[in-house]
Structure 1
Amino acid sequence: MDTSTSVTNGSSLQISQFTLMGLSGIHEWQHWLSLPLALLYLLALGANLLIIITIQHGTMLHKPMYHLLGILAVVDIGLATTIMPKILAIFWFDAKAISLPECFAQIYAIHCFFCMESGIFLCMAVDRYIAICRPLQYPSIVTKAFVFKATVLRNGLLTIPVPILAAQRHYCSRNEIEHCLCSNLGVISLACDDITVNKFYQLMLAWVLVGSDMALVFSSYAAILHSVLRLNSAEAVSKALSTCSSHLILILFFYTGIIVLSITYLAEKKIPLIPVFLNVLHNVIPPALNPLVYAVRMHKLRLGFQRLLGLGQDVSK
């Protein structure tokens, strides 16, 4: 470790910055890899901004389901912007250094946006369940307060301890993070003191937030499927399933990515590059592809795009 990255803290050294090593082992390919990543990032920004503007201007889209899609678009922009500029700076300019406060801020942003995305998918599942199975109770349950508490407030507060606990650790020797971003486990593994509390809270957060969200999401869609299959009308069944299909595609993609990442981390010591690469892709591909799924699967939103771009009629008519 370069001694210029350390400061004295009592009788020991405290590093003042971390070094993000990027994709170790394929540095000669990083410039080429940065091109599709940059295109995906630009696609994520443009497509999600289009989603937000379309929902804002389409009066027929001012409903909880579309508000959730708008929040998801904001979260996708935030998640991609949290990591991609720094990754591209590493690939293009070899700007690997990152200060401790910047690193801890990135840890919080990644956890917050990631958990908010999971919370949004839970709200989507509840929204469809109430709309299909309990339609008379829909206005009293699916409110702006419900959406705010389930997506923003819960995840914003519960993820605060993650960077705080990381910042309380003492980093005295190693400062090289084998990643393109400041992952919590990657950072705290460099600490010179005990990290049991950090690991415990990380595990608890995974189970309490993402794990419970996943279970509730699939339970909601199982209940929806059970309910619609009992309908005698084939048209009603088709309409209900069509309404849920776009959400279910996004949800399956999101949680499948989590499961794949978890499995690859088990083999990290043998193939350390794969978990890092998949983690980067999981943070940039969904924000780029989510709007495409909306555009293909949701008729009113597609009409909203056409009106906004001057290609169709007003969706409010």
Structure 2
Amino acid sequence: MLPLRSAMTLTNGTCGLRPSSFTLQGLPGLEDAHFWLAFPLCAMYLVAIVGNATILLVVKTEPTLHAPMYLFLCMLAAVDLALATCTMPKILSLFWSDDREIGYEACLLQMFFIHSLSGIESTILLAMAVDRYVAICRPLQYSATLTRSVTAKVGLVAVARGVAFFLPLPLLVDRLPFCGPTVLTHSYCLHQDVMNLACEDTMPNVVYGLVAIFLVMGLDSLLIFLSYVMIIKAVLQLRSREERFRAAGACVAHVCIVLAFYVPLIGLSVVHRFGRELPPMVQITMSNVYLLLPPVLNPIIYGARTKEIRRRALKMVRVRRDPEPH
């Protein structure tokens, strides 16, 4: 049985009753196995940390990789590192030491980071799709269009966009009163999950949450789809089969990470809004997939598909393993 005493402790807030903490959820029915299940989660977290840090280090130390495509990849790796780090330590603490409580302010802060970082990642994925479009459909204009200055500005826009659209979410939650048990259905704080525990009308939260999702993730996914429609059209017009395969191969890694990001996101949104009768295990599994899959898969996919990154990473490993004699 979950420890509800601290979760039900309420203090007076400026807008009504405010809980002192929320209670996070592990895997229902598998509480006895939490300790052992934490090891594969920890392994995935380490893969995400090492993989994304390696990409950042490789691109930073190799001047030939200071091109827009690799700079966007660095931005993606930095976001994945931040997303994994703001959630996984608390999840591992829950599984290893049954530490289910998360403070009210910490929960809202984690909520902001999860949603804003997801928005930033969506914008970066769109920028990478535009990069591929210009490289394949407008190759002669690539150097003049995507300069380092433009790439840096795109990164700043991605951060500003993510913060601007998702900062209101914790502010909207902070105005809500909570009159009962504050037990969440996930291992971390999501806006939809926290919002559902309130005992007042949450229509403003619902409307704004949907608007933010559609204007960020929804619009980005549509533009990514349109960019690939134009890319496919341009690829089919290439004369030789070798050129078509080379152009298509340049997009495979990006398509994979787009699917790794948007498919779990869409699945989790559908489960939250239309699958309330589904077993809790389904919701929790979807939420963990949404959180862990992109940070783990992105460096693996780009490391395997990008010859320059793979070659430089292996070279760094060999240099450390076989230092030159003095």
CA contact 2:16–2:176 (8 Å) conserved in 1: no
Q: Distance in 2 between the 1:285 and 1:17 partners? A: 28
| TM-score normalised according to structure 1 size | 0.92
* C-alpha distance in 1 between matches for 2:15 and 2:208: 30
8 A contact 1:120–1:150 mirrored in 2: no
Q: Which amino acid aligns with 1:116?
A: I
Q: Relative to 1, partners in 2 of residues 1:229 and 1:86: Cα closer, same or farther, differing over 3 Å?
A: same
Distance (Å, rounded) in 2 between the aligned partners of 1:233 and 1:149: 39
Task: Sort the Cα spacing of 1:283 and 1:10 in 2 relative to 1 into closer, same or farther, 3 A.
Answer: closer
SS in 2 for 1:309: helix
- Where do 1:144-223 residues align within 5 Å? 144-223=151-230
**Quick one: distance in 2 between partners of 1:56 and 1:46?**
15
- The runs of 5 or more residues in structure 1 that have no matched partner are 313-317
CA positional deviation for 1:9: 5.0
TM-score by length of 2: 0.90
Greater displacement, 189-198 / 122-131: 189-198
How far has the Cα of 1:135 moved from its partner?
2.5
| Alignment partner of 1:117 out of 121, 125, 138 | 121
The aligned counterpart of 1:315 is: none
Alignment pair present for 1:303 and 2:290: no
The change in CA–CA distance for 1:175 and 1:301 in structure 2 (over 3 A counts) is same
Aligned to 1:2: 5
Distance (Å, rounded) in 2 between the aligned partners of 1:17 and 1:279 = 21
User: Which residue pairs with 1:91 in the alignment?
Assistant: 95
Q: Percent identity?
A: 35
CA 1:13–1:238 in 2, change beyond 3 Å: closer, same or farther? closer
Deviation of 1:10 after TM superposition, in Å, equals: 8.5
Which residue is equivalent to 1:291? 299
Residue matched to 2:324: none
Q: Residues 24 and 178 of structure 1 are in contact (CA less than 8 Å); yes or no, is this contact kept in structure 2?
A: no
- Residue type matched to 2:79 in 1? V
Provide the residue aligned with 2:71 in structure 1.
Answer: 67
For these two proteins, the number of residue pairs brought into alignment is 312
Measured after TM superposition, the shift of residue 260 of structure 1 is: 2.8
Q: Please tell me whether the aligned partners of residues 19 and 178 of structure 2 are also in contact (alpha carbons under 8 angstroms).
A: yes
SS of residue paired to 2:86: helix
| 2:38 paired residue among 34, 37, 49 | 34
**1:219-252 deviation digits (Å, cap 9, x = unpaired):** 1111101001101122221221111111111112
Unpaired runs of 5+ in structure 2? Answer: 321-326
Identify the range of structure 1 (169-178 vs 12-21) with the bigger mean alpha-carbon deviation. Answer: 12-21
Q: Do residues 14 (structure 1) and 18 (structure 2) align?
A: yes
> Which deviates the most, 8-17 or 253-262?
8-17
